[in-house]
Structure 1
């Protein structure tokens, strides 16, 4: 039978999914440790052998092999803009939507110290923005000159004031810089236009980054490494929400992806106020929004979760205040043993508590909030960010959620809390779990067969309600 082989070269595991394209079924899945430190094909070959075993002797012809990757730290970027709350924030959102981990955002004119920081930050791509079209020119031109004069040898995606492009092109070409031009991420004040920059970042990722991360040998084997893994998950979520040409979507949804180093939140919703009398303030929100919390991870960042949440919150989720559980020691153990698999009931419960904290804090940072101002005319309510209170579905993925028998409890930690009413979290969503890790695979499949990808997601995501 003809099938697609969909591959995720993950930061920890290489995951394979075989899809029967005639019957629209997942034939088998498998995973093995990603071997980026030696040869990435070693981990792939181990996972492929397991996949063949899981096919149970079925004769499969892989007509297409598509891949995404977050190996070797994934795609790391810095974003540069003008005003922190406007073009700099717009650039950051464009980079996050492209599947990058944004290490830092810079605003206004770059200093020599900041240039040196960028050169020493182990990033892959720079996103250079600044100014609305026809607006401020001096800042983005200053920053382009600084990058060129200090020989910053990194691919640069320019997505700022379009009237500066001729001069920026001359600056970069005269200094043999690697660069590409995209439409402005904020062509008009407070109006986002992030999709062109996202697409340009994806192209640069495919062209420049794959070989640098040792993925060249993998690319020879597949039909293409199409995008970073987080971008594939966001693409799948967007199709599942909006639907495709022939398939209806599910409507507004949130994806919670808890990993070893980060917790990613994807929201697919307009985020308009759900209550009357509320006005919106701040930058326009994209329909498909992704945030990454680098201090909320189950292993690499376990001690950072403790720093962010405090002992009291972890003890609340452990639900056992009478015993003297060594919170700090348990977090340190996980940070020092990133491949630790919980075996005892105590280890499982501690991991679940970490997962609940990661969910709660990541949702708090992702959703919008409401503030009240008292005026002579009475109270006025303003909303910053997205209102996600009426979100229909919350989808969980990542090891702690996939393998937990209490996944719904972990996801419910992100629900609206009457004790913190300003945060516009979902009230009564239905909970789904990506038990077979198909979201990134379906993001790849949606590039070529979007209708099928939507149908498969509807079929295989497990409803916890």
Structure 2
């Protein structure tokens, strides 16, 4: 096998990459983007895909298309031996999740859906039954691709589950991309309620029953639901999107949802590193946050954190001052507002000035912050596991349902998505991660610099050894952040000391400093903290560990957690300029008054 062509058909952009085997090693030969063409006038995802492949032909000098057909197998200068694909076009896979209680079964269903790469468009619980016609109208407005119906432990009450199914039956929603078709319904609830659920729904919908997602309160059984969601996505959703039949016929293996493919790579990475990791993917439609905690994958998606035509309709809509606060100069709020709505109307626009670039990166910082907060709040343990016999107490427990994400225990952060992967300087991506995610303790920062994580996830399905080899090239070590957490202290006071190789460096309160590391690969560091500060070993405890510094070396971040930006405009601008200079995010000229200069200049 000589070459592999991979495609990710996103909601805004279609991304393609060509992998080439040279001297016995697989390498990225090139990549290209083109706006996705799922909507009119083209209404065919293959149109945008072929345009992207045509651009890839120009950059790599390999001929890949013969007319509208993919050349296969590969020859010396043409064709590809394999094509793999992922997709989140059309807004991805939209699910309506229904369960008896939002606190237990609906929450478990929510986790299963997100883990399968879906977007949860709405959550329905037994409380909604009392809303009658209002609930029915809400179900119809959601326009899901699939309904996931859960509820009850095995052997429990069946009547509330049946009532929930009856409400769905009365709403009789239509699939988003097949208005004349039957709605797919996955039932993963009380096994005793199956006859009632199927009897109510199978006349107008296609019902598939899988194992109960919560057979007992102490157990969460997600995998059967996730597997069925992926199957229905391929059979019932992908098949009805314009051009996807051709896309599927090209592909080796199934067309996977983009987040599911990305999650596969991250799960592999966490297992290999034997540590908990956090990852963010800033897409054209959503910001996905993944965490692998104790070997298990958790995912949340922020629907409102968008740089697309759907931005204005989402739950995350930053105020102009929230974006402008990240710029090291005064910016008129009307200018910020105009930039924002131009991005809403023209989502594929590339920043042309440094001011545009800083505005976009300010937006990304706020989106990352909000998305991580949501992820931490939703990624929780099971409710009910300590008080099985007192069902009424499930809704008031403080000892269960706690967040599983402890930022201090995250040892690696992976960044992907065009604003991060394609930032003009790697240091800009790093600073967005520091400001938006605010890592704590000792954290390696890794960037998917070529934006190929979804491609590798698709490869895992059909050619795992190639995918594992390419991961090493795809994920670029960007730097290791050391950020002590503790009380607020006067600016400039030393809060920790770092020893690495033959260097000793201080971390000062309010300061951001980089320490270049000449040696490639892992290095051992010792971090000595003041007694009231913590870098992962407990307050006042010194830590000796191995890190992978990468391009920026060690990043000593003494700015505190949560990060506080000075309120006085002059102090804010001075602080931002100092931080930008510390990581060489922008040329010094740009940090003065010439921010409107063209990037190309």
Instruction: Tell me which interval the TM-score lies in, with the shorter structure as reference length.
Output: 0.7 to 0.9
RMSD of the TM alignment (CA)?
2.6
Deviation at 1:203, TM superposition (A): 0.3
Match of 1:377? Answer: none
1:47 aligns with 2:52: yes
Distance in 1, matches of 2:403 and 2:300, equals: 15
Distance in 1, matches of 2:377 and 2:110, equals: 17
Match of 1:123? Answer: 144
Deviations 1:415-438 (A, max 9, x none): 44xxxxxxxx64331111112111
Deviation at 1:352, TM superposition (A): 0.7
Structure with the larger RCO, 1 or 2 (CA within 8 Å, 6+ apart): 1
Q: State the SS of the aligned residue for 1:84.
A: coil
Q: 2:466 pairs with 434, 452, 462, which one?
A: 452
Check whether the contact 1:306–1:328 (CA below 8 A) recurs between aligned residues.
no
1:366 aligns with 2:375: yes
Q: 1:343 pairs with 352, 365, 368, which one?
A: 352
Deviation at 1:163, TM superposition (A): 2.1
Distance in 1, matches of 2:331 and 2:172, equals: 57
Q: 1:144 pairs with 165, 169, 182, which one?
A: 165
Check whether the contact 2:324–2:359 (CA below 8 A) recurs between aligned residues.
no
Deviations 1:305-350 (A, max 9, x none): 8965444432332233x44343323222221222221110110111
> For residues 314-393 of structure 1, what are the structure 2 equivalents within 5 Å?
314-320=323-329, 322-326=330-334, 327-368=336-377, 383-393=402-412
1:5 aligns with 2:29: no
Deviations 1:139-180 (A, max 9, x none): 22222233334434411111111222233333333x142121
Distance in 1, matches of 2:198 and 2:165, equals: 10
More displaced 10-residue stretch of structure 1: 259-268 or 136-145:
136-145
Distance in 2, matches of 1:323 and 1:119, equals: 43
Check whether the contact 1:269–1:288 (CA below 8 A) recurs between aligned residues.
yes
Deviation at 1:301, TM superposition (A): 5.3
Check whether the contact 1:154–1:178 (CA below 8 A) recurs between aligned residues.
yes
Q: State the SS of the aligned residue for 2:308.
A: coil
Check whether the contact 1:269–1:388 (CA below 8 A) recurs between aligned residues.
no
Q: Can you give the 5+ residue segments of structure 1 that lack an aligned partner in the other structure?
A: 243-247, 271-285, 371-379, 417-424
More displaced 10-residue stretch of structure 1: 66-75 or 112-121:
112-121
Distance in 1, matches of 2:310 and 2:168, equals: 32
Check whether the contact 1:305–1:358 (CA below 8 A) recurs between aligned residues.
no
**CA 1:301 to 1:354, structure 2 compared with 1: closer, same or farther past 3 Å?**
farther
More displaced 10-residue stretch of structure 1: 298-307 or 407-416:
298-307
Q: 1:155 pairs with 174, 184, 195, which one?
A: 184
**CA 1:427 to 1:381, structure 2 compared with 1: closer, same or farther past 3 Å?**
farther
Distance in 1, matches of 2:184 and 2:446, equals: 38
Deviations 1:383-420 (A, max 9, x none): 4342232211111111211222200011112344xxxx
Match of 2:283? Answer: 259
Q: State the SS of the aligned residue for 1:296.
A: coil
Q: State the SS of the aligned residue for 2:360.
A: helix
**CA 1:3 to 1:103, structure 2 compared with 1: closer, same or farther past 3 Å?**
same
Match of 1:277? Answer: none
Distance in 2, matches of 1:63 and 1:352, equals: 38
Q: Which has the larger radius of gyration?
A: 2
Match of 2:433? Answer: 411
Match of 1:373? Answer: none
Distance in 2, matches of 1:368 and 1:170, equals: 37
Q: State the SS of the aligned residue for 2:155.
A: coil
Aligned residues: 426
Q: State the SS of the aligned residue for 2:194.
A: helix
Q: Can you give the 5+ residue segments of structure 2 that lack an aligned partner in the other structure?
A: 63-75, 174-181, 380-397, 480-601
Q: State the SS of the aligned residue for 1:15.
A: strand
Distance in 2, matches of 1:363 and 1:334, equals: 23
**CA 1:24 to 1:250, structure 2 compared with 1: closer, same or farther past 3 Å?**
farther
Match of 1:64? Answer: 82
Q: 2:208 pairs with 180, 193, 196, which one?
A: 180
Distance in 2, matches of 1:112 and 1:228, equals: 33
1:83 aligns with 2:92: no
More displaced 10-residue stretch of structure 1: 43-52 or 296-305:
296-305
Check whether the contact 2:305–2:315 (CA below 8 A) recurs between aligned residues.
no
Match of 1:281? Answer: none
Match of 1:429? Answer: 443
Q: State the SS of the aligned residue for 2:80.
A: strand
Deviation at 1:128, TM superposition (A): 0.5
**CA 1:176 to 1:305, structure 2 compared with 1: closer, same or farther past 3 Å?**
closer
Check whether the contact 2:361–2:419 (CA below 8 A) recurs between aligned residues.
yes
Match of 2:234? Answer: 206
Distance in 1, matches of 2:311 and 2:206, equals: 37
